[in-house]
Structure formats: structure tokens, C-alpha cells
């Protein structure tokens, strides 16, 4: 794919390109439920110049705050595949944590099916293999008090945010939509990816044990490696100093062959 127009197709961009003239690969990053591009803010400063970071800007947050968040994976994939194609004029890779892992995986499959192109590498984090029976909680329709209690128990939303009433009124529709998207997701078997997959998991994440992370390896004909890191489900927020070298090594190995 040789397109070079990097202008967003709509009024608000779907991807936040952080240009690097020496970059040889673009790393597209997809957040967990309720997450934003801010998760990856520090990454750009610590990744080598050969890697250009491109966080996704999903509806319901940031510049797209007034746009309704998606609750079904299929329409999201249709839009993302269309919006990402102008950025695929160089080798690229995907990283996604939890919900973001599902998005990255399904987008990779969509691009392969529709455009005959796929990432040079797929990094998935904090998410069991897609074919493993789902246990995503049915919380998106709970009353606010119960919904917020569930969020607090997951340890992914800071207490100061949960206790900020006006802020939660703004964020709650997006949070509910993200959890509904995860709950509604249904894996459909298909052609295997060819790209390598790197899988990251938290040693204290009881909901995502290693053997369920290893199930990702059945989704590619390429190499697959699983790395277990200290932390619970949201180890991504504390372990970037460990995560980034793993991603860097995986991508640099392929950069050298470009």
C-alpha cells in the first residue's frame, strides 16, 4: 500500500501521528476500556527514533468526546480500516492492551481480508486469546453507584476520577460503551495471521492466566512469544520501562529486514 496522504478523513482525526523523519516502522497503539492516548504519552520519548508512535483516538474521549463510542466491534473495524489506510505507506505494527488487544487483532484480520496487508508485528497485552471463552463482566447496564464500584474494584480508574462527579458524568457514557463492546465481542474463526505475535501478561492478573495468554499463539503462522510481567491487569501503567524494551526488540528485529 503506497498511499501518502496523512490527513484525517473526518473533522477529528482517528490517529495521532508523532512524526519522526528517521522512522522505519509505525507503531499503532490501542487503549484499554476507558483509556485514552495519554496512556502512551511517555512511550514516544523512550522509543528509538526508528519507531514512530501513533496512538489511536477513539470516539467518546479526547478530541472525539462528543462522538458516541462504539458498542459493537464490526462497525468499529469498518471505520478503523478505512481511516488507517492512509497511514500504511510504511511497515507498521499494532499494540493493544485488554480491549485494545481485541481491536488490534480484529483490525489486523480486517486489513488482511480487505486490503491484503497486515502488520509486521502484533503486540497484545492483558487479554486472553480471542478464541478462549469470554468472561467479560456484564456491568455496562448497572446503576451508576454499582458501575462505579465495579470500576474501582478493577483498579484501572484513579479514585480521584471516580470521586469527581462532573468528570464522571462526562466519562460514563464512554466507559459503559467500551465495556459493552468487550461484552458483545464474539470471536469468529478465520484465516491465520502471518505476522509474529508478542503477548504480555501480568503475574498478578488472576483473570488472565498464562495458559489463556498462550492461546494467542494459535492465531498466527508466525512466531509467538509470551512475557509475564509484575503487576495486575493494569501492569501497563507501571511497567512501561519493561514493556518498551520488549516491543523495541520485537520491532527492531523486523526493521533490520525492511
Q: What is the pLDDT of residue 44?
A: 87
> In the β-sheet with 197-202, what is the strand arrangement from edge to edge?
51-55, 25-30, 92-97, 121-125, 197-202, 224-229
Instruction: Give the angle subtended at the CA of 127 by the CAs of 122 and 128, to the nearest 5°.
Output: 100
Report whether pLDDT(245) > 80: yes
> Does the active-site annotation cover 98?
yes
Using CB atoms within 10 Å of the CB of residue 228, give its burial: 0 to 12 exposed, 13 to 18 middle, 19+ buried: middle
Q: What is the pLDDT of residue 170?
A: 85
pLDDT in tens, 188-209: 999 999 999 999 999 999 889 9
Provide the whole-model pTM: 0.91
pLDDT in tens, 2-49: 333 344 445 679 998 888 888 999 999 999 999 999 999 889 889 999
Q: Can you tell me the distance from the alpha carbon of 51 to that of 56, in angstroms, rounded to the nearest whole number?
A: 16
pLDDT-above-90 percentage for the chain: 69
DSSP assignment letter at 193: B
pLDDT-above-70 percentage for the chain: 92
Q: Can you tell me the distance from the alpha carbon of 146 to that of 173, in angstroms, rounded to the nearest whole number?
A: 15
Beta bridge partners of 53: 27
pLDDT in tens, 204-233: 998 899 999 999 999 999 999 999 999 999
pLDDT in tens, 113-146: 999 999 999 999 999 999 998 766 788 888 888 8
Q: What is the pLDDT of residue 255?
A: 66
Q: Can you tell me the distance from the alpha carbon of 89 to that of 85, in angstroms, rounded to the nearest whole number?
A: 8
List of domains in the chain: 25-134+190-255 (3.40.50.1820)
Report whether pLDDT(244) > 90: yes
CA atoms lying within 13 Å on the CB side of residue 28: 29
Catalytic-role residue among 21, 44, 98, 125: 98
Q: Can you tell me the distance from the alpha carbon of 36 to that of 174, in angstroms, rounded to the nearest whole number?
A: 11
Q: Can you tell me the distance from the alpha carbon of 179 to that of 71, in angstroms, rounded to the nearest whole number?
A: 8
Amino acid at each position: 500500500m503506497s498511499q501518502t496522504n496523512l490527513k484525517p478523513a473526518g473533522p477529528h482525526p482517528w490517529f495521532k501521528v508523532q512524526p519522526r523523519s528517521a522512522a522505519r516502522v509505525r507503531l499503532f497503539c490501542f487503549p484499554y476500556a476507558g483509556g485514552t492516548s495519554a496512556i502512551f504519552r511517555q512511550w514516544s520519548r523512550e522509543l528509538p527514533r526508528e519507531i514512530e508512535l501513533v496512538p489511536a483516538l477513539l470516539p467518546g474521549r479526547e478530541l472525539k468526546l462528543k462522538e458516541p463510542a462504539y458498542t459493537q466491534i464490526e462497525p468499529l473495524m469498518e471505520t478503523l480500516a478505512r481511516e488507517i489506510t492512509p497511514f500504511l505507506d510504511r511497515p507498521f505494527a499494532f499494540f493493544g492492551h485488554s480491549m485494545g488487544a481485541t481491536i488490534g487483532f480484529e483490525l489486523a484480520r480486517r486489513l488482511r481480508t480487505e486490503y491484503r496487508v497486515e502488520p509486521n508485528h502484533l503486540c497484545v497485552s492483558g487479554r486472553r486469546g480471542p478464541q478462549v471463552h469470554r468472561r467479560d463482566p456484564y456491568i455496562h447496564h448497572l446503576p451508576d453507584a454499582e458501575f462505579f464500584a465495579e470500576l474501582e474494584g478493577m483498579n484501572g480508574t484513579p479514585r480521584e476520577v471516580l470521586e469527581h462527579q462532573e468528570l464522571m458524568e462526562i466519562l460514563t457514557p464512554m466507559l459503559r460503551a467500551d465495556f459493552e463492546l468487550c461484552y458483545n465481542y464474539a470471536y469468529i474463526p478465520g484465516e491465520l495471521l502471518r505476522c509474529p505475535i508478542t503477548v504480555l501478561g501480568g503475574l498478578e492478573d488472576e483473570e488472565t492466566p498464562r495458559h489463556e495468554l498462550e492461546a494467542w499463539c494459535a492465531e498466527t503462522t508466525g512466531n509467538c512469544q509470551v512475557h509475564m510481567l509484575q503487576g495486575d491487569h493494569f501492569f501497563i501503567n507501571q511497567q512501561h520501562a519493561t514493556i518498551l524494551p520488549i516491543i523495541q526488540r520485537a520491532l527492531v528485529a523486523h526493521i533490520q529486514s525492511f
